[in-house]
Amino acid sequence: MTPRVGIVLFPGSNRDIDAVNALMVAGAEPVMLWHEDTDLSDVSAVLLPGGFAYGDYLRAGVIAQFSPVMRAVGEFAARGGPVLGICNGFQVLAEAGLVPGALLRNRGLRFVCREIALLPERLDSPFTREIGTQRPLRMPVAHGEGCYFADDATLDALERDGQVLWRYAAVDGRVAAPEDAANPNGSLRGIAGVANAAGNVAGLMPHPEAAVEDLIGSADGLGIIRSLVVSAQEYATTGAVTGTRALAGVVG
């Protein structure tokens, strides 16, 4: 059975076609979900793509969190369903409290659009299980508010509990510090993506869906998309996903 993965569309989403293509390359059936939809019973994973939800008025993701579909996404996540937010999708998840931390204005206060190196922190999560080897992955970033921030206690807890999934990597493979040129936005501890405490919701700022075929410059993002698809298949079959844990009342 081909897993069905929902792609959430907000007014202003602009990476939805890239997400459709990436999911098809990875072996899933994409299902478009409008921001007013409330029924997710027909999908076994959810992807929130990049863009500028509601024009990013006020700040990125803050208006989208109140849309009807996000209530449904929250309920889906509470049942253990896998949810991945990319770029603006990560911002929406953070604003909705589905992943910890916040995304602030880039360190240089400018929109950044370029290729970066993304280092997987672990290879056993629902979103990294198909990457294969722990090496820097080439893919683009395109954002103005991508600086990952949390207080020191939260950052320590994220690292202790394995919730940091990706970091920006320097040329030599080291984690890129906030002031490093390889860190495109000044994210603390080089964090590019995190998961919630249960492990079934994750967000990252780089765009793996734009790096799934060598023809377009890199296929390094395909492992991340395939991981979501494999997790969707597992959730559709068993109602659970390997690498997650049930924590009552925990969403971030």
What's the pLDDT at 246?
60
Give per-10-residue mean pLDDT for the chain (252 aa).
96 97 98 97 97 90 94 98 98 98 96 97 97 96 98 98 97 89 97 98 98 95 98 97 69 47
What's the pLDDT at 173?
82
Q: Is 30 left (phi over 0), alpha (psi -120 to 50) or beta?
A: beta
Distance CA 247, CA 119 (A): 27
Cite the active site residues: 87, 207, 209
What's the pLDDT at 57?
84
What's the pLDDT at 250?
45
- CA gyration radius, the chain: 16
DSSP collapsed to 3 states, 72-124: HHHHHHHCCCCEEEECHHHHHHHHCCCCCCEEECCCCCCCEEEEEEEEECCCC
What's the pLDDT at 35?
96
Instruction: Kindly list the distances between the CA atom of residue 231 and the CA atoms of 37, 78, 173, 174, in Å, as whole numbers in the listed order.
Output: 23, 16, 28, 29
CATH for the 4-238 domain, from 3.40.1190.20, 3.40.50.300, 3.40.50.880, 1.20.1250.20: 3.40.50.880
**Lookup: tokens for 21:** 């293509």
Instruction: Kindly list the distances between the CA atom of residue 9 and the CA atoms of 113, 114, 122, 142, in Å, as whole numbers in the listed order.
Output: 22, 24, 29, 18
What's the pLDDT at 41?
95
Cβ–Cβ contacts within 10 Å for residue 217, how many? 13
DSSP collapsed to 3 states, the chain: CCCEEEEEECCCECCHHHHHHHHHHCCCEEEEEECCCCCCCCCCEEEECCECHHHHCCCCCCCHHHCHHHHHHHHHHHCCCCEEEECHHHHHHHHCCCCCCEEECCCCCCCEEEEEEEEECCCCCCCCCCCCCCCCEEEEEEECCCEEECCHHHHHHHHHCCCEEEEEECCCCCECCCCCCCCCCCCHHHEEEEECCCCCEEEECCCHHHCCEHHHCECCCHHHHHHHHHHHHHHHHHCCCCCCCCCCCCCC
Residue with tokens 């683009």: 140
Instruction: Kindly list the distances between the CA atom of residue 174 and the CA atoms of 120, 159, 180, in Å, as whole numbers in the listed order.
Output: 12, 16, 11
What's the pLDDT at 108?
93
Q: What are the extents of the domains in the chain?
A: 4-238
What's the pLDDT at 7?
98
Q: Is 224 left (phi over 0), alpha (psi -120 to 50) or beta?
A: alpha
What's the pLDDT at 245?
82
**Lookup: tokens for 224:** 């991340």
What's the pLDDT at 251?
44
